[in-house]
Amino acid sequence: MLKNLSFSVLLMTVPAAASAAGCRLALVLAMDVSSSVDAEEDRLQRGGLASALLSEPVRTAFFSSDLPVALAVYEWSGRYNQHIILDWRMIDSPSALREASETIAYSKRSYNDFPTAMGYGLGFGAALLERGPECLYATLDMAGDGQNNEGFGPQLAYTEFPFGDVTVNGLVVNAAEFEAEVELVDYYQNQVLHGPGAFLIIANGFRDYERAMRIKLERELTPPAIGQLRKPEFAG
């Protein structure tokens, strides 16, 4: 019942994506805009993602193969509070990458007073991938600073939505007091990471978001790393 109702609703909320051929990776980035993320923290993560995309290592990784990468970005929080920031864009040139970065940098937060409905956020990402271009691989990134606290969690999302060929990586935004967030790291490692080669990167606060995102993107985009079968892992 959950699958029939929730997935059909999510599909209706995702704009149709442009078709594409010869794509090596469909990459979806999901940003947490739940109530635990204040305005300054949102500015840091939005600007951090935009800057990370234009960093030299990430640019090199984007264009390290003749096959391009398709990129989409959305923000998530409550059950029905997801919003696409960047609809599917084929990153096939430096100008396409720059335009994607600018779209993210100038975007405005859509929601700021809702809980962390991670299962619904993942379901939205699955629907977005379903309508995306056909690529050799598909990756969804869940970035966040808290555990699911509304509705169903990640494990149920993975059984109810089409995640069979999707790798889900994580970016945990740790609190300033690292010890206080050990449970969040464990939660992501045991509940959120999904699929072959899934891994976790830790940002020590939102001021560290750009560095963590840069490391994660470089690893995801470098062709030899795509599709390798490894156990889920995490790194700082």
> What is the amino acid identity at position 95?
S
> What is the amino acid identity at position 33?
V
Q: What is the reported pLDDT for 16?
A: 39
Q: What is the reported pLDDT for 111?
A: 82
Query: Would you say 203 and 171 are in contact if contact means Cβ atoms under 8 Å apart?
Result: yes
pLDDT (tens digit, 0 to 9) for every residue of the chain, 236 residues total? 444 444 444 444 444 333 444 799 999 999 999 988 999 999 999 999 999 999 999 999 999 988 999 999 999 999 999 999 999 999 999 999 999 999 999 999 988 888 889 999 999 999 999 999 999 999 999 999 888 888 899 999 999 999 999 999 999 998 655 544 678 899 999 999 999 889 999 999 999 999 999 999 999 998 644 444 444 455 55
Query: Would you say 31 and 210 are in contact if contact means Cβ atoms under 8 Å apart?
Result: no
Give the CA diameter of the chain.
46
Burial letters for 152-175: b for 16+ Cβ neighbours within 10 Å, e otherwise? Answer: bbbebbbebbebeebbbbbbbbbe
Q: What is the reported pLDDT for 222?
A: 86
Q: CA 11, 158, 74: angle at the middle one, nearest 5?
A: 45
Query: Would you say 53 and 29 are in contact if contact means Cβ atoms under 8 Å apart?
Result: no
Q: Could you give the residue ranges of the DSSP H alpha helices within the chain?
A: 2, 8-13, 39-54, 56-62, 94-105, 118-130, 154-160, 182-187, 209-221
Q: What is the reported pLDDT for 130?
A: 94
